[in-house]
């Protein structure tokens, strides 16, 4: 089986080829960051047009990199949602049309299932079952992953996602919105121990839900009252990052203790945060469990994770009919089915 994976849910065009025998054969990514930079955010119409321009050449590049031809592809997986509808439609149309032309099965994948399974692309991959912490700008959730398509939501954010709290606090610190979370982490590195301390929300009561809205408000009030010099801003950034990381670690520890899972997988954009990685590594050593992260390039959007999720589902005999499907909204609770 050689599966072509296509990801076009937002502002990255991702294409990859995954082989049953040889693993990941090719992975190509085009990022639109420069295209959207003058607008301070992603402009959906520009994103769709750029996907149209880049997708076919990227598929050719991936085939070349894998030393395959189109006729070697045996199945196609694409991100069917959630995301920007115009952008999703580009991937869906290309995937379905190519599948029809080549007479091979295609399957629509939930973007977050891709992120959840990304660590399985690594040489040191977790086996089922495992606990997954999904942590990004749109989601913060703990899931029990029993097998492909068998996910149980154990807890999630009742208000803001962790990545959203990072981005909004970065904005309050004057760091801008796009990539604000990563900028905050860089600023935090310059900070030292200080008098600033933020709450660890919802850690004092049972359960695995998260809440980051109050933390954002607390940061807003602290920033407004504090001096504006670089040192103080860095100290605040550090205290804030510590509060978010601590909260995530406390909930992971609780989830591991209550489920007796031996493996923890961390996925989504915030899983690239170095401080989070180090803290979870430390926790895993204390608890005698293993922790798995995708390589940094697979923490953000990419085609490889979609190719892999598609490979697992197509191998299980699943595929969709010829309808071109894309869903802008697709709740986490409906993650178990393919499109």
CB of 234 to another protein, least distance (A): 20
CB of 258 to another protein, least distance (A): 20
The sheet with strand 290-292 has its strands ordered as 150-156, 140-147, 130-135, 263-267, 290-292
DSSP letter at 126? P
CB of 317 to another protein, least distance (A): 32
Cα–Cα–Cα angle for 336, 115, 242, nearest 5°? Answer: 120
Cβ-based nearer residue to another protein, 168 or 251: 168
User: In 32-165, where do the E strands start and end?
Assistant: 75-81, 106-110, 130-135, 140-147, 150-156
Cβ-based nearer residue to another protein, 42 or 93: 42
Asked if residues 17 and 4 have their Cβ atoms less than 8 Å apart, the reply is: yes
DSSP letter at 130? E
Asked if residues 37 and 95 have their Cβ atoms less than 8 Å apart, the reply is: no
Cβ-based nearer residue to another protein, 153 or 287: 153
CB of 13 to another protein, least distance (A): 18
Cβ-based nearer residue to another protein, 40 or 57: 40
Residue 157 CB coordination number (10 Å): 21
Question: Where on the chain is the footprint of another protein (CB under 8 A)?
Answer: 36, 39-45, 82, 84-86, 137-139, 156-161, 164, 168, 171-172, 177, 209, 213-214, 216-217, 219-221, 224, 328-329
Distance in angstroms (rounded) separating the CA atoms of residues 105 and 237: 48
CB of 117 to another protein, least distance (A): 21
Cβ-based nearer residue to another protein, 147 or 217: 217
């Amino acid at each position: 089986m050689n599966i072509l994976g296509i990801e076009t849910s937002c502002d990255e065009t991702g294409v990859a080829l995954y082989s049953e025998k040889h693993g990941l054969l090719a992975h190509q990514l085009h990022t639109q960051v420069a295209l959207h930079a003058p607008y301070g955010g992603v402009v959906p119409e520009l994103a769709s047009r750029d996907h149209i321009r880049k997708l076919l050449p990227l598929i050719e590049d991936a085939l070349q990199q894998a030393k395959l031809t189109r006729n070697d592809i045996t199945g196609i997986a694409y991100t069917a949602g959630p995301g920007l509808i115009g952008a999703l439609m580009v991937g869906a149309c290309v995937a379905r049309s190519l599948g029809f032309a080549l007479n091979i099965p295609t399957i629509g994948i939930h973007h977050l299932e891709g992120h959840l399974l990304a660590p399985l692309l690594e040489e040191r991959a977790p086996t089922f079952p495992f606990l997954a912490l999904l942590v990004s700008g749109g989601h913060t959730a703990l899931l029990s992953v029993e097998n492909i398509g068998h996910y149980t939501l154990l807890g999630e954010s009742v208000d803001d996602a962790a990545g959203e709290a990072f981005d909004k606090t970065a904005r309050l610190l004057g760091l801008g919105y796009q990539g604000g979370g990563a900028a905050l982490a860089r600023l935090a590195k310059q900070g030292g121990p200080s008098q600033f301390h933020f709450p660890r929300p919802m850690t004092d009561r049972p359960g695995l839900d998260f809440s980051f809205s109050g933390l954002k408000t607390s940061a807003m009030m602290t920033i407004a009252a504090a001096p504006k010099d670089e040192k103080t801003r860095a100290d605040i950034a550090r205290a804030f990052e510590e509060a978010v990381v601590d909260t995530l670690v406390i909930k992971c520890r609780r989830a591991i203790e209550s489920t007796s899972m031996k493996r923890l997988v961390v996925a989504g954009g915030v899983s690239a945060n170095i401080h989070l990685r180090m803290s979870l590594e430390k926790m895993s050593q204390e608890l005698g469990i293993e922790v798995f992260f995708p390589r940094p390039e697979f923490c953000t959007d990419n085609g490889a994770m979609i190719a892999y999720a598609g490979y697992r589902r197509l191998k299980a005999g699943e595929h969709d009919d010829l309808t071109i499907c894309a869903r802008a909204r697709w709740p986490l609770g409906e993650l178990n089915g393919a499109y």
